[in-house]
Structure 1
Amino acid sequence: MPADEPEVLRARHQGRGGGAEDPARGASRAPAVGQRGVLLGRRAAGHRPAEGVLHPDVRRLPGRGLERTRARTGGPQPHNPAAIGIHRTGAAEASAARREGINPFRLDRSAWRNLGAAGLAWFLVIAIALTGWFVVVVPLHADILDNDLTLVYIGARIGLEQGWSHVYSLPLQHELFTQLRPHAVFNDGERFVSPPPFAWILVPLSVFGAGGATIAWLAISLAALVLGWLLAAPGAGWTRSLWLLGALAWYPVLYGLSLAQPALVIVALAAVAWRLAEAGKPYHAGVVLGLSVVKPQLLLLLPLVLLFAGRWRIVAAWAATVALLAAASLAVIGGQGLRDYLALLDEAQHVANNRYFTLAFVLGPGPLSYLAQGAVIAGAAVAAYANRRASHARIFAVGIVATALGATYWHLQDFTILILAAWLFWRDRPPLSRAWLLLAIGIAGEFAWPLTPLPILVGVAGWAVLLGAPRIAEPSNNPA
């Protein structure tokens, strides 16, 4: 046997090589087990014949000595050494690994991906803590009623105390606003112009007072965000939480929370509608989608896109739900309430802040901007028809992005709805290169908007074009 080869000693059997028979185990002439335990530095284990196998790292030197070294390259190593009678501490191997440490140049792609995801998660958590503190916590702590939900609370109070036909009465709104916030200015931005169902929803929360209703609504909004994430966010495993952290860290989402806006509730409703459509329940999906009339401008073009994409059952249920709510609203507010409501809507159309994040910022208010918004609507219909065999996720994303681009009444917090579009867009497995577009929109919504809304408008326009182009070999999905 070569001197540098490791030697495996086996227990001798009767009649082999003329050697002496092995003594019975436990007999006085049976020191072999103990000797092997000494050689290995430990007491041998078990009472099996395999106990005669020496540690594979032990070899015999030319001078009949023994040396502990590495096993031969390619030599088999027992998966469970204890199962064949070998006991080793592994102290040498462990200490060697500790001395070697982690070599970043030897990490594989999966390890780098996990490290990157962990680093991104920590960054997003810090961003949520810092931005959330200054954008949400500090303003609401200073004045818990300085938000848009207070206006809805005023509408609910007027309806309960004065009758729902007076819910859009400007003098009554002014009076109650002054009672709640005596030091605030009742300007053209302090109006309750939401549809009556929003005030109806807030009636149960009015028992907590204006401040308590705000806190309860914030809790509902966060729960709605988590629900939407659970239903619609792509990915699997712990890295899926990055989509939730990214949504919470985005400035439009946090700003919407500071105003106690219903945008996150609309995100949850649209996510539930999409999931029901995926489950083959189009009528249920349409009913849920119809509840989004509490803030209709966030999903205004989605029914049109669904219709041209062949999802007519969803649209039929949506139309029935909206018609029912509209009829109930009209019956409750009456003719005078309708006239007051239309007057408030006309006033809102002339407020420059309400169109700052629309195409009117680029083209100016007037016929040119209306023409551009009409082109967006027509393009959305064409894109929906071209993608009629696409997945429900893609169709919903087309409708949401087209709504954001073609809106006539839009604010920074309304971009919150794009987080659902991003989740559904990514579920459709787009090319990885298109992630840069989402990143650009996210950065524009985070940093560029105080200077100009142009970057985020350009990003949304580019996203709409990408979504509108049908994908090659698009997987077929059963239309609703």
Structure 2
Amino acid sequence: MAPMVGTLSFFRDAEWLSAARARAVMLVLAVMLPLLAIVWIAMSSGGIDPAGHPIGTDYLSFWTAARFAASGDPQAAYDIAAHHGAQIAQAGLDPGYAAFFYPPAFLLALLPFGLVGYFPSLILWLAGTFAAYWRTIRAWAGGWDGSLLALIAYPAVLLNAGQGQNGFLTAALFGGGALLVERRPWLGGALLGALIIKPHLALVIPFALLFRGAWKSIAAAAISAATISLASLLLFGAETWQGFFGGSALARETLESGLVDPAKMQSLFAALRLWGAPLEIAYALQLLLFAAVVAALALVARSGAGNRAQGAAMAAGALVSTPFLLDYDLTLAAVPLSWLFLEARRTGFLPWEKLALGAAFILPLLSRSLAMNFGLPVAPLVLAVLFLLVVRRARSEHRHAAVDVDGLTRDVAALAAR
């Protein structure tokens, strides 16, 4: 019995995962990951990496779409033949088609980046969105002096940068909006509403705000989403929106038929499809999980948890809820990771927190490889555990605050009696 107890404690308390060891791992990753990126770029030739893809990979889809918009032909972004042809022309070879399934609202955000050449545009895109991301995560980390090291070491940062994706932007909008809901509700809601550029990442937001009674933020989010969409409609025309809706069938087929390998995705839906589950079962279980997340967010709101706690739970829940989630989207996990770590430093680690923090931090580095090479999609489990631990801490936050206030009241009363 004793060995079993010892094994459980090894994982539950993770005393071996000391601050010094965690910092050593981060230092190794902070050096190794950028060095690998530099070597990979140095091995590239003519803008094509050793794997035969253009540097920036997915950004080629964004840039060609932005180029169409800047030249007055935005609907071509949703014309597969035209869009693919433009990618081939830029790359000088056929890198394989990278579709543009995003709504014209995202095309509106990309428009300025289509005014310059591909590589200057890629650099501006990554630098600008990373700056917003860094500022957001630093705020969530409470100005912790190790936050920059942790962010450089966080593998999702390199994955997003390497693929030229929008994970920095969406995490900045989500994290910044969640942080501001209480103090500046109109601005916070407006940032959350801007996630209309990637709506499947925002599925839980309306429920979380509704449970909190954050009516100003709800109104601001609705106005923001509507304004951005209307602006894109006026600027790009109805034909562009028709092209977007016309491509929705291909987007759905991409998810359901494995046009994007399920092993590359991080959701429960993808894990079930990887294991051969029927489509209906995968959808049903993903929907049940979504309902469970919404219910948990209602409990967090009802518990009276603070703004940061509820924002962290909302971000963690967003990662668990959507069926379409790729590893670069794990940039958003830095929000609940930062909050959970900050609270653990303040009050001490609760059971399983050290292990969950370590596993979620390293997840983007390993999840795709484990799924593709060994059929082990670990991301849904790790993200679900992270969500549950955030919910546990968030729900207990109000009780701890009440105990602290009661204790302070007793101390004041005792001093007065003297």
TM-score class, shorter-chain normalisation, is 0.7 to 0.9
Aligned residue identity for 2:89: Q
Aligned residue identity for 2:163: L
Find the aligned partners of 1:129 and 1:173 in 2 and give their Cα distance. Answer: 31
Shift of 1:317: 0.9
Alignment of 1:42-441 (within 5 A): 119=24, 122-134=27-39, 142-143=48-49, 145-187=55-97, 190-234=98-142, 236=144, 240-241=145-146, 243-278=147-182, 280-351=183-254, 352=258, 353=260, 355=262, 356-364=265-273, 366-388=279-301, 389-429=304-344, 431-432=348-349, 433=351, 434-441=353-360
Aligned residue identity for 1:182: G
Shift of 1:338: 2.9
360, 363, 366: which one aligns with 1:447: 366
SS of 1:350 mapped into structure 2: helix
Verify the 8 A CA contact 1:358 1:408 in the aligned structure 2.
yes
Deviates more, 1:263-272 or 1:147-156: 263-272
Find the aligned partners of 1:377 and 1:170 in 2 and give their Cα distance. Answer: 32
Structure 2, gaps ≥5 residues long? 1-17, 403-418
Find the aligned partners of 2:20 and 2:295 in 1 and give their Cα distance. Answer: 43
Task: Deviation per CA, 1:159-182: give whole Å up to 9, x if none.
Answer: 232433443222321232222123
Task: Deviation per CA, 1:192-251: give whole Å up to 9, x if none.
Answer: 222223322333233321121011112113322321233211464xxx32x332232232
Identify the residue that residue 23 of structure 1 maps to in structure 2.
none
Deviates more, 1:218-227 or 1:425-434: 425-434
Verify the 8 A CA contact 1:252 1:446 in the aligned structure 2.
yes
Identify the residue that residue 11 of structure 2 maps to in structure 1.
none
TM-score computed with the length of structure 2 as normaliser: 0.76
Find the aligned partners of 2:75 and 2:41 in 1 and give their Cα distance. Answer: 34
Shift of 1:268: 2.2
Structure number with greater Rg is 1
Verify the 8 A CA contact 2:175 2:332 in the aligned structure 1.
no
Find the aligned partners of 2:329 and 2:42 in 1 and give their Cα distance. Answer: 20
Task: Deviation per CA, 1:431-464: give whole Å up to 9, x if none.
Answer: 5141211112233332243122522211111122
Larger helix fraction of residues? 2
Verify the 8 A CA contact 2:356 2:382 in the aligned structure 1.
yes
Structure 1, gaps ≥5 residues long? 1-112
Verify the 8 A CA contact 2:270 2:323 in the aligned structure 1.
no
Percent identical: 21
Aligned residue identity for 2:28: F
Verify the 8 A CA contact 1:135 1:258 in the aligned structure 2.
no
Verify the 8 A CA contact 2:69 2:111 in the aligned structure 1.
no
TM-score computed with the length of structure 1 as normaliser: 0.67
Judged with a 3 Å threshold, the aligned counterparts in structure 2 of structure 1 residues 175 and 375 are, in CA distance, closer, same or farther, namely same
Judged with a 3 Å threshold, the aligned counterparts in structure 2 of structure 1 residues 324 and 138 are, in CA distance, closer, same or farther, namely farther
Aligned residue identity for 1:244: L
Find the aligned partners of 1:135 and 1:394 in 2 and give their Cα distance. Answer: 39
Verify the 8 A CA contact 1:158 1:167 in the aligned structure 2.
yes
Query: Number of matched residues?
Result: 358
